[in-house]
Amino acid sequence: MPGKPLLEFNDNGIYCAAGKFYIDPWKPVDDAVITHAHSDHARWGSKNYLAHHLSREVLKYRLGAEINLQTVEYGETVFKNGVQISFHPAGHIIGSAQIRVEYKGEVWVVSGDYKLEDDGVCTPFEPVKCHSFISECTFGMPVYNWKPPLEVHAEINRWWQKNIEEDRASVIVGYSLGKAQRILQHLDMSLGKVYTHGVIENTHEALRRNGIQLNPTTRITPQSNKDEVRKGIILAPPSSVGSPWMRRFYPYDFGYCSGWMALRGAKRRRAADRGFVLSDHADWDGLLQAIDATGCETVYLTHGYTAAFSRYLAEIGYDAHEAHTLYGGDEAVEEDSSTVELVNEEGEVIQPGEGAAEI
Amino acid sequence: MRAFAKLFADLDETNKTNEKVRVLKEYFTSVTDHDKIHTLALFTGRKPKRQINATFVRTWAMEMAGIPPWLFEESYQVVGDLGETIALLLPRNTSEQHKSLTEWIGEMNALANMDEAGRKQWLTDAWASMSQQERFVFNKVLTGSFRVGVSQNLIIKALADISGLDAATLTHRIMGNWDPNTFSFSQLMQEQDASDDISRPYPFYLAYAIQETSDQQKTAEEMEESLGDPANWQAEWKWDGIRAQAIYRDGKIFIWTRGEELSTDKFPELHGFLKELPDGTVLDGEAICFSDGTPLPFNVLQTRIGRKNLSKKILEESPMAFIAYDCLEYAGEDIRHLPLSERREKLEELQSKTSFPEIFRLSPVVDFSSWEDLYDLRLLSRENHAEGFMLKRLESTYQTGRKRGDWWKWKVDPLSVDAVLMYAQKGHGRRADLYTDYTFAVWDGDKLVAFAKAYSGLTDKEINQVDYFVKRNTLEKFGPVRTVKPQLVFEIGFEGINKSNRHKSGVALRFPRILRWRTDKKIEEADTIETLKNFLG
């Protein structure tokens, strides 16, 4: 097809000129279509947002209740200037979607972030046929091969049990939107109560407003009884690691849940007592399988190991390209790609400009 | 192997010292004595001889993983450890193995008599039978790169708790030349020392720095406050050679360097004086290149140490001497418990009888009556070919390992320049997949010329920030090396500088490291090559 491609990368984000809208723009635009509510994909300041309806409350919590937001179901079709848009499950977090764009018989899919395993919390990934696929590749190196997630959840429960027996608090760390719910829903609730850091509880409240059923949790406040809290398990975001907020639960064991825990170096760097390899992104085989299932000819790789992964795809016969986006940046880690939520000792978020330095 | 792999994983899974000791004790009380002694050997750096060339290991791993060589290399860059990279890339195991660590090490040693096809078969079968964690630890042992994040002190503590022997005794017993195939765990643990190893050195007594960094200079008053009356202290110049322990027992000589490396053959010039010492003498001192009564710069020694064969030319260009500063064994008696002042007397007596006074030298005791004197003298360290002072309490015994209190090093402040970050490369281990290895440049006219590599000196937070910068400001990629936009300025410290024909800048630095990130400076304010060359003197 001659002329402009249906989707292109410009300074603001992924742009559809025919439909005059952006997908996951990193600068404020008129019309933003959002794959999911993580902050490197859903940014503040656009005039109109279109997202999956399970992202509604979290987007409002994160971007402001006043945003102009339209939500849709998976599979529902929306037209913008004659371009057909639909949302399809990405399996990344609750409300995450791949976005299918069709115009004059040409189909593109923007993956957002995705994983193939059913995590038991969000709607599982469904492959969507397309001509061109814009894919993430956060873990696009063959050293990343996830274990079955249920094995990891069983490890987490065993670890919690052991900490109880040895009279240590359990602090489990994961990103507040996505990982925290996944951890929570697989905890063995017969072992004890689940306590949450304020940032995570705020997210849970937003999800509950959206009708999501989550296991019961208790917010940690300055009034919380420390001895009681120490008998349960504490769900905390990465930003709380090493903070006075966390230290007050001492003695504790701290477990970190992330795909990066697959590498010893990364685990040692975070000085976690336990690294649980639990990721909401596709591993190497998952990425290859997902790309194959689209039946696409052309692949654009956004964030992750884009250089190596696109080279490999080209060698196995795809028309593969590196795309430069601001999602997490080149080889950046999850903590980079999320806004750093800085919390004070009570676990409340410190707004930027309140004297806290941001990395 | 399973128990050993689990031990390694358990040690990895905690950052708490007590927990590590508990895990070690649990392991040592549950495995066979053979496995215990092999574990101890591995944990103290006694690796089995490498029987398979690393290139073969890589090639066979790539074949088994079914990935092209370039992708294997990229993976290695991300992981930062060859053994781990292979463990992660290989397909899941198809069977299980139940061999002990001792059995696996036995098989590794038996590879010496096997041809290439046999080795390949053995290795791929081994990999196919191991879990990821087992493979990782196995690869580390196999490739001779086994290291463990547990200090020798913790292992000693665990063994001391189990055996009831004291830590200093055990530390001494595991020094030296033992081989886990012949030295047994029960020998190690006997009440009375059962070793007849005449080569066995004593653990070195190491000093901490009294002044942690050049930012925190100690004044004479602060020295007085920390160390008290100068009359209780002996000061010696801190020599820039190689710390060495020289042994003469039963007519045989042994020279150990600090890394517990037996280096007798590396220092033929020292053999003469050692052979005429009384039987049963052990000296602690500095092996250093010396000519016309003056120590030579460290790079002369470094060049010599790097050579496999000591040619006539090398021996002429870099003659060795031994600057002795302590006597640990006298007339066959361990005298480490005596005060320094008495040990020094014995040392001086031995030295006075030598017929090689140009080679067997005494580290002179520096005369000073106040900390002010010493403070001023320290500023002349470089003129005296020294790195600063060693301060030793006259009453001090010769202790084991690095201890605070009685011995201190008081180093001269490093030389420094402000330099621009030019290239970056990913680190290894804890720094894997992070840009932490940097090359710095100074101005040569309007061009930047690279002059030093430095890996250390930044905090974890700063490393993350520089990594973030590098990933977003790459101008070019050459394999694993990235050229970055010249923008960041760092103060680079170093201990000395020498002319070099091998480096484009024409200079080679000793111990370059990052002193601080100069976020206040623009690249235009970085130093020039002339500034560096002025330090050459």
Say what the ipTM of the complex is.
0.88
Give B139's contacts in chain A (Cβ within 8 Å): none
Q: Give pLDDT, residue B214.
A: 56
**Would you say residue B88 has pLDDT above 90?**
yes
Q: Give pLDDT, residue B182.
A: 84
The pLDDT mean for chain A works out to: 88
Positions of E strands within A166-318: 169-173, 194-196, 218-219, 233-236, 252-257, 274-276, 298-304
Number of independent structural domains in chain B: 3
Query: Is residue B419 domain-shared with residue B405, that is, in the same domain?
Result: no
DSSP state of B204: P
**Would you say residue A210 has pLDDT above 80?**
yes
Question: What CATH number does the domain containing B455 carry?
Answer: 2.40.50.140
In whole angstroms, give the CA distance from residue A140 to residue A288.
Answer: 9
Q: Give pLDDT, residue B382.
A: 86
Does residue B164 form part of some domain? no
Query: Is residue B423 domain-shared with residue B526, that is, in the same domain?
Result: yes
Note whether A359 contacts B471, CB cutoff 8 Å: no
Query: Is residue B407 domain-shared with residue B426, that is, in the same domain?
Result: no
Q: Across the beta sheet with A233-236, what order do the strands follow?
A: A218-219, A194-196, A233-236, A169-173, A252-257, A274-276
Q: What angle do CA B193, B199, B201 make, to 5 degrees?
A: 75
In whole angstroms, give the CA distance from residue A292 to residue A305.
Answer: 18
Distance of CA B443 to the CA centre of its chain: 33
Query: Is residue B391 domain-shared with residue B427, that is, in the same domain?
Result: no
Give B472's contacts in chain A (Cβ within 8 Å): 329-330
Q: Give pLDDT, residue B83.
A: 94
Note whether B434 contacts A145, CB cutoff 8 Å: no
Q: Give pLDDT, residue B212.
A: 62
Of B15, B84, B428, the CB nearest to A273: B15
What is the domain range of residue B427? 415-534
Query: Is residue B12 domain-shared with residue B104, that is, in the same domain?
Result: yes
Q: Give pLDDT, residue A344.
A: 39
Sequence-separated (6 or more) residues with CB below 8 Å from residue B120: B56, B60
Query: Is residue B404 domain-shared with residue B522, that is, in the same domain?
Result: no
What is the fold of A8-143+280-339? Answer: Metallo-beta-lactamase; Chain A (3.60.15)
Phi, psi of B362, deg, nearest 5: -95, 140
Domain final residue, candidates B386, B411, B436: B411
Q: Give pLDDT, residue B184.
A: 87
Dihedral of the CA atoms B6, B8, B12, B17 (nearest 10)?
Answer: 110
**Would you say residue B348 has pLDDT above 90?**
yes
User: In terms of pLDDT, which residue wins out, B432 or A80?
Assistant: A80
Query: Is residue B406 domain-shared with residue B424, that is, in the same domain?
Result: no
Distance of CA A38 to the CA centre of its chain: 6
End-to-end CA distance of chain B: 57
- The DSSP annotation for B159-198 comes to HHHHH---HHHHHHHT-SS--TTTS-HHHHH-SS-----T
**Would you say residue A351 has pLDDT above 70?**
no
Provide the pLDDT confidence category of residue A359 given band limits of 50, 70 and 90.
very low
Does residue B153 form part of some domain? no
Provide the pLDDT confidence category of residue A3 given band limits of 50, 70 and 90.
low
Provide the pLDDT confidence category of residue A328 given band limits of 50, 70 and 90.
low
- The DSSP annotation for A149-169 comes to HHHHHHHHHHHHHHHHHTT-E
What class has domain A149-276?
Answer: alpha beta
Query: Is residue B117 domain-shared with residue B235, that is, in the same domain?
Result: no
pLDDT tens-digit map of B160-180: 999 888 888 888 888 877 888
Query: How far does the CA of residue A116 sit from the closest CA of chain B (Å)?
Result: 19
How confident is the model over B495-521, as a mean pLDDT?
88
Distance of CA A258 to the CA centre of its chain: 11
Question: What CATH number does the domain containing B319 carry?
Answer: 3.30.470.30
Query: Is residue B6 domain-shared with residue B110, that is, in the same domain?
Result: yes
Give A263's contacts in chain B (Cβ within 8 Å): 78-80, 84, 88, 432-433
Query: Is residue B491 domain-shared with residue B370, that is, in the same domain?
Result: no
Distance of CA A146 to the CA centre of its chain: 16
Query: Is residue B227 domain-shared with residue B368, that is, in the same domain?
Result: yes
* Contact assessment for residue B64 and residue B120, using Cβ atoms and an 8 Å cutoff: no
- A205-264 residues touching B, CB cutoff 8 A: 253, 262-264
Does residue B171 form part of some domain? no
Provide the pLDDT confidence category of residue B426 given band limits of 50, 70 and 90.
confident
**Would you say residue B299 has pLDDT above 90?**
no
Contact with chain A for residue B68, Cβ under 8 A: yes
Does residue B190 form part of some domain? no
User: In terms of pLDDT, which residue wins out, A84 or B472?
Assistant: A84
Query: Chain A: residue nearest B76 by CA?
Result: A143
Q: Give Cα separations from B403 to A249, B135, B397, B406 (angstroms).
A: 33, 37, 11, 8
Give A265's contacts in chain B (Cβ within 8 Å): 79-81, 428-434
In whole angstroms, give the CA distance from residue A82 to residue A19.
Answer: 7
Residue A132 DSSP SS3: strand
Q: Give pLDDT, residue A345.
A: 37
Distance of CA A104 to the CA centre of its chain: 32
Of A144, A269, A332, the CB nearest to B430: A269
In whole angstroms, give the CA distance from residue B173 to residue B193.
Answer: 8
Q: What are the residue ranges spanned by the domains of chain A?
A: 8-143+280-339, 149-276
Query: Is residue B390 domain-shared with residue B419, that is, in the same domain?
Result: no
In whole angstroms, give the CA distance from residue B495 to residue B373.
Answer: 23
Note whether B78 contacts A143, CB cutoff 8 Å: yes
Question: What CATH number does the domain containing B69 carry?
Answer: 1.10.3260.10
Domain final residue, candidates B365, B384, B411: B411
Nearest to B425 by CA among B77, B74, B86, B84: B77
Provide the pLDDT confidence category of residue B364 given band limits of 50, 70 and 90.
very high
